[in-house]
Amino acid sequence: MSSSAPQQRPPGKVLNINNINSSVKAAKYAVRGEIAIKSDEYRDILARGQKDKLPFDSVISANIGNPQQLDQKPITFFRQVASLLENPLLLEHEDVLVNSLDYKPDVIARAKKLLADVQSVGAYSQSQGAPIVRESVARFIEERDGYPSDPKDIFLSAGASGGVSTLLNVICADSSSGVLVPIPQYPLYTATLSLLNAQCVPYYLEEAQGWSTNLKEIHAAHEKASANGTDVRAIVIINPGNPTGSTLTAEDVRGVLEFAAEKGLVILADEVYQTNVFEGEFLSFKRVLRDLQKENPEKFKHVELASLHSISKGMVGECGHRGGYFELVGFDDAVVQEIYKFVSIQLCPPVIGQAIVEMMVNPPREGEPSFELYKTEHVGIYQGLLKRAKALHEAFKKMEGVDCQSPTGSMYLFPTISLPPKAIEQAKSEGRTPDEFYALRMLDATGVCTVPGSGFGQRPGEYHFRTTFLAPGTDWVGRIVSFHEKFMDEFR
Ligand SMILES: Cc1ncc(COP(=O)(O)O)c(C=O)c1O
């Protein structure tokens, strides 16, 4: 410590935009960026009844995968159990619950079982998450993959985001550490790497092949970064993809695992959309890794895999409850201990969120009283998503200069747009990227809020936008179509 007198600050605020953490300033997260903020302003204007000020009468938040903001109803079983967890006094009136409120006996039984373990959802749980929940997660993974899973390898998290932050914090040692990230990608990854001042090593996905992984691209990105002195330590895979809406084939998954085994890379498998699959089949990285380890134990024995899941997506859509988990496979025990310490510093993930994780992985089974309603709700949400995805895709197919892969998974479409040179010039003159200009114009004209492709990354000279297909109805799809026609006419 210096012996000189402490430096006197000038009067006024301690913090200013030039002296705060520059990594925070460098991080970008377009999903809730300028266009989303503007859409909130429009929503406020409409809420104040000033409809004549805008050319639309509702704002459609197609920028974010937030199902219940867009009218997806919560699954009844989850919320009934959660209500009892929040207010256990209700359990003293089972007759009212059953006879007047139509709570089924399995709702009551589940609430009692969870409460017996966590005692109160107002209490901290174990840092790694409540044992009863981790046991259910492990059983779910076993049933899904046909391979054992151990509750001690499961870490519950505040959404998958909490898990990603934990893992990247531990993986990235310093500014030379690099992580291969798909482009386009969900910007949580680039933003977190920015915050950690670590290196994002981008690899492009193949749009023409349904946004699949291309091993040549991954190889080249790895080579280039390594040659530049980056210590590439991990590879992120998002399957099904965001923003791409793709579902990887078994070959793709195998290819990535082989590459990771050869190069010595940790795999971060972001599988939050595992039940949002419309074409093909979801294959977990864990299952394919175990298959490969059986076929070639020597080659795959050291592979380290962390796979993540969440209650925010799928038919659950409980984003606001912040629940998720990651499973660690093949990590060194001492590293696991540090991961444990890291999560302990945050004390524990939200306990209601943990309970919803438990219900997601262990929903009512056939023959149980809540099963029929659960199934009806689940299937209804799935069919609704599929219908809207197809309607949106059909609309995009008809739009001039728009090309869109068919939706095979997740909640998004990510069409590419060939923007006329005049539009590109106009965007430049306004100091915007062309896709930002397009998405902003769309918002101003229609009230539909999307995210420009640059927020996820795209090849130079290509332009995209991402929209969810969560919003109810199809009126907003029509709004996009007619906006696009006028836009093209204006700039053609
Ligand atoms: C690919 C992907 N991973 C992770 C997340 C984070 O989800 P949460 O933190 O709500 O679980 C999202 C959210 O949209 C996502 O799309």
pLDDT over 60 at 440, yes or no: yes
| Residue range 389-430, pLDDT digits in tens | 888 899 899 899 999 988 888 889 999 999 999 999 999 999
With a 6 A CB cut-off, is 154 part of the ligand 1 pocket? no
Q: Is residue 335 domain-shared with residue 380, that is, in the same domain? A: no
Distance CA 37, CA 405 (A): 28
With a 6 A CB cut-off, is 181 part of the ligand 1 pocket? no
Residue 26 is assigned to a structural domain of this protein: no
How many A from CA of 238 to the centre of ligand 1? 10
Q: Tell me what pLDDT residue 51 has.
A: 83
Residue 196 is assigned to a structural domain of this protein: yes
Name the 3-class secondary structure at 309. strand
What type of residue is 286? K
| Residue range 146-158, pLDDT digits in tens | 999 999 999 999 9
Q: Is residue 224 domain-shared with residue 332, that is, in the same domain? A: yes
Residue 10 is assigned to a structural domain of this protein: no
Q: Is residue 425 domain-shared with residue 451, that is, in the same domain? A: yes
With a 6 A CB cut-off, is 272 part of the ligand 1 pocket? yes
How many A from CA of 351 to the centre of ligand 1? 19
Mean pLDDT of the 6-12 span: 76
Q: For 119, phi and psi rounded to 5 degrees? A: 70, -60
Distance CA 30, CA 432 (A): 14
How many A from CA of 433 to the centre of ligand 1? 25
Residue 486 is assigned to a structural domain of this protein: yes
| Residue range 186-225, pLDDT digits in tens | 889 999 999 999 999 999 999 988 889 999 999 999 999 9
pLDDT over 50 at 1, yes or no: no
Q: Tell me what pLDDT residue 246 has.
A: 87
Residue 247 is given by DSSP the state: -
Q: Tell me what pLDDT residue 6 has.
A: 65
- Chosen domain end from 86, 112, 138: 112
Q: For 329, phi and psi rounded to 5 degrees? A: -125, 125
Residue 84 is assigned to a structural domain of this protein: yes
Closest ligand 1 atom number to CA of residue 163: 9
- Please say whether the dihedral angle defined by the alpha carbons of residues 225, 227, 228 and 229, taken in this order, is positive or negative: positive
Length reported for the chain: 492
Q: Tell me what pLDDT residue 318 has.
A: 94
Q: Is residue 263 domain-shared with residue 397, that is, in the same domain? A: no
Q: How many CB atoms lie within 10 A of CB 290?
A: 18
pLDDT over 60 at 165, yes or no: yes
Closest ligand 1 atom number to CA of residue 273: 1
Which CATH number goes with the domain that contains 465? Answer: 3.90.1150.10
With a 6 A CB cut-off, is 237 part of the ligand 1 pocket? no
How many A from CA of 268 to the centre of ligand 1? 13
Q: Tell me what pLDDT residue 76 has.
A: 97
Nearest to 201 by CA among 169, 172, 163, 241: 172
- CA dihedral angle for residue 442, residue 443, residue 445, residue 447, rounded to 10 degrees: 130
Q: Is 146 left (phi over 0), alpha (psi -120 to 50) or beta?
A: left
Name the 3-class secondary structure at 442. helix
Q: Is residue 59 domain-shared with residue 85, that is, in the same domain? A: no
What type of residue is 269? A
- Chosen domain end from 299, 328, 361: 361
| Residue range 19-69, pLDDT digits in tens | 999 888 888 876 678 899 999 999 999 999 988 899 999 999 999 888 787
Residue 400 is assigned to a structural domain of this protein: yes
pLDDT over 60 at 334, yes or no: yes
Q: Is residue 144 domain-shared with residue 195, that is, in the same domain? A: yes
Q: Tell me what pLDDT residue 492 has.
A: 85
Residue 117 is assigned to a structural domain of this protein: no
Q: Is residue 483 domain-shared with residue 340, that is, in the same domain? A: no
With a 6 A CB cut-off, is 145 part of the ligand 1 pocket? no
191-198 own/partner pairs: CB under 8 Å, 24+ apart: 191/27, 191/28, 191/29, 192/27, 192/164, 192/165, 192/168, 193/168, 194/23, 194/26, 194/27, 194/28, 195/23, 195/24, 195/27, 196/23, 196/168, 196/169, 196/172, 197/23, 198/168, 198/172, 198/174
- Chosen domain end from 331, 361, 391: 361
The mean predicted confidence, pLDDT, of the chain is 93
With a 6 A CB cut-off, is 97 part of the ligand 1 pocket? no
With a 6 A CB cut-off, is 161 part of the ligand 1 pocket? yes
Q: Tell me what pLDDT residue 43 has.
A: 94
Q: Is residue 86 domain-shared with residue 160, that is, in the same domain? A: no
Residue 3 is assigned to a structural domain of this protein: no
Q: Highest mean pLDDT: which of 59-63, 67-71, 263-267, 468-472?
A: 263-267
Q: Is residue 253 domain-shared with residue 130, that is, in the same domain? A: yes
Q: Is residue 308 domain-shared with residue 233, that is, in the same domain? A: yes
Number of domains in the chain: 3
Q: Is residue 152 domain-shared with residue 103, that is, in the same domain? A: no
CA 73 centroid distance within chain: 19
Q: Is residue 189 domain-shared with residue 283, that is, in the same domain? A: yes
Q: Tell me what pLDDT residue 411 has.
A: 87
Query: What is the residue range of 94's domain?
Result: 76-112
Which CATH number goes with the domain that contains 128? Answer: 3.40.640.10
Of 168, 313, 451, 467, the one to substitute when testing ligand 1's pocket (max ligand atoms within 8 A of C-beta) is 313
Distance CA 199, CA 417 (A): 30
Residue 106 is given by DSSP the state: H
